A and B are shown apart, each in its own frame.
Chain A
């Protein structure tokens, strides 16, 4: 019984189409049951995330008939009226198994190498397993996919490093401070990136957030959102004794923090290290402060250069990951001999 994969992703269609095919978690067991009752699939797993909706199945039908049946099933189930051609990719063996492994490893994700998809795939598989919609073929394939993801995570750099400014800032903080959980963060100004950076630090355990802005109301609103507290723009310097990380993102035309201002503030901190993240353009923090002892200043270009380098490293790992996937997929595929894919089975977007 060959394994097939059918679905839509951010590669093949925009969110306006994908959202029309999304499944809620509660509805998936029933949908799989219907697919099996209709004889379309013998085993099935549905993966529905913000970037993809996919059906992985093992079928005793002719592959082409299975694809046509599933295509019609999805259209009918979601009452979709628009055209659906290249948006929906249909993969027979061996590409279906390769695709499953690639998805598990984050190679097909919007952010190359991201790890969230593995958790989502495991959840989708567990849901199908609990409701008895998987059997020996899909069980082996999915278990193997999870092992391959783990193998690739340890053996390659595909998942290493951070590719967003916020997460790079967190990594920098973790290279300086022993634990983030004792660290307080000061956000000067407000902005999307500084908010995301602050959230990233909080999610990794930063102790607290202090927000300051020329507009106290904006500072209070952001502080409430982040679970921190706000201080007046004239008063933030007094917080320096407690602060370990500063994220600055104002629209001030001049430096908000320069060496002359920082030197006495460092004495308040008894020379504990201080991480300054200057996301503003024009810059808020005088570059000269980086030469002070125990001060580490990174501007937006520095953070983006690190993120770009990580992404480049990940991209360099793609060929190696694909070689591993090919090798591991062969183990599954060599178990019953796969039926050749019928003509007209289109490869998915991004696949050879």
Chain B
């Protein structure tokens, strides 16, 4: 796995190293029971975000377009949006511990992204993506970033909810936010993600319509999968509003849906002739 500093891969690798350090520190915070407001986790993720942003800019400048044109770039972009959303949420003191729950997720996705076979050299791609395609990919990645952070908030909710349910003392001693606020954070992130996903899919659909014979992509695995993901997230929100499926069930649904996304994103991408055209 060569670390190519020239187009930013090295900076991304540095970011992933810091996500790893942050993960180790998160374990320490977990064992301490989140008892003290801690800027260290925020500082670590802010530093990682700086490296990560540099990686994205360098890659983008070398390609002359938004860097979302292969799996490595898409994965790096999603991870970047998760940290980006956290960097805003983490300014609120009680939400700072989101970083402790996000770090292992970021580290795991980052390690995966660094696998060499994901970063297909652009000389081998049929054609660079157009503007609409770049916007589509960027908005979808932003959406998954929001969903990713909602998953993290959902895990926090379930952790704290379990502690309260089983009368664990750490439920009281920790500085984790109240579970109702965590649920609110999850809802807002899901709404943001769904809006971005809807916009991204709409732009993608329009972009597709400009191709010759776009109907041949109707059954494309990635297209079907994206529609399914949209239905799942919309269903979560409708279930909460209309059928009072809130609280623990809602959090489990949020975590489970993003786990599904994580586990199937790359596979469906590889199967998709639209997103992974054979040269």
Contacts and interface: CB of A to CB of B under 8 A. Distances in A.
B164 A178 contact: no
B63 interface: no
Interface stretch (B142-150, B242-250, B266-274): B242-250
B39 interface: no
A298 B247 contact: no
Nearest to A302: B167
Given A171-B172, A306-B169, A306-B172, A176 B179 contact: yes
Contacts of A178: 178, 180-181, 184
A174 B165 contact: no
B217 interface: no
Given A172-B172, A309-B169, A271 B247 contact: yes
Contacts of B56: none
B251 to A, nearest CB: 11
B165 to A, nearest CB: 6
B245 A175 contact: no
Nearest to A272: B246
Given A172-B172, A175-B171, A298-B167, A273 B180 contact: yes
Contacts of A69: none
Interface residues of B, number: 21
A293 interface: yes
B245 A271 contact: yes
A347 interface: no
A177 B38 CA distance: 23
A293 B165 CA distance: 9
Contact of B178 (A160, A176, A271, A272): A176
B94 to A, nearest CB: 11
Contacts of A271: 244-247
A175 B179 CA distance: 7
A290 B165 CA distance: 7
A168 interface: yes
Interface in A223-280: 267, 270-273
B23 interface: no
Given A175-B178, A176-B164, A178-B178, A294 B248 contact: yes
B173 interface: yes
Contacts of A161: 172-173
A293 B184 CA distance: 18
A199 to B, nearest CB: 20
A177 B247 CA distance: 12
A311 B184 CA distance: 33
Nearest to A155: B36
Contacts of B184: 178
B79 interface: no
Interface centre among B160, B164, B172, B248 (most CB of A within 10 A): B172
Given A177-B178, A272-B246, 8 more contacts: A175-B160, A175-B172, A267-B244, A293-B247, A293-B249, A294-B248, A298-B167, A305-B167
16 contacts: A172-B164, A175-B176, A175-B179, A176-B178, A176-B180, A178-B184, A270-B246, A271-B244, A271-B245, A273-B179, A273-B247, A293-B247, A294-B247, A294-B248, A305-B167, A306-B172
Interface of B: 35, 160, 164-165, 167, 169, 171-173, 176, 178-181, 184, 244-249
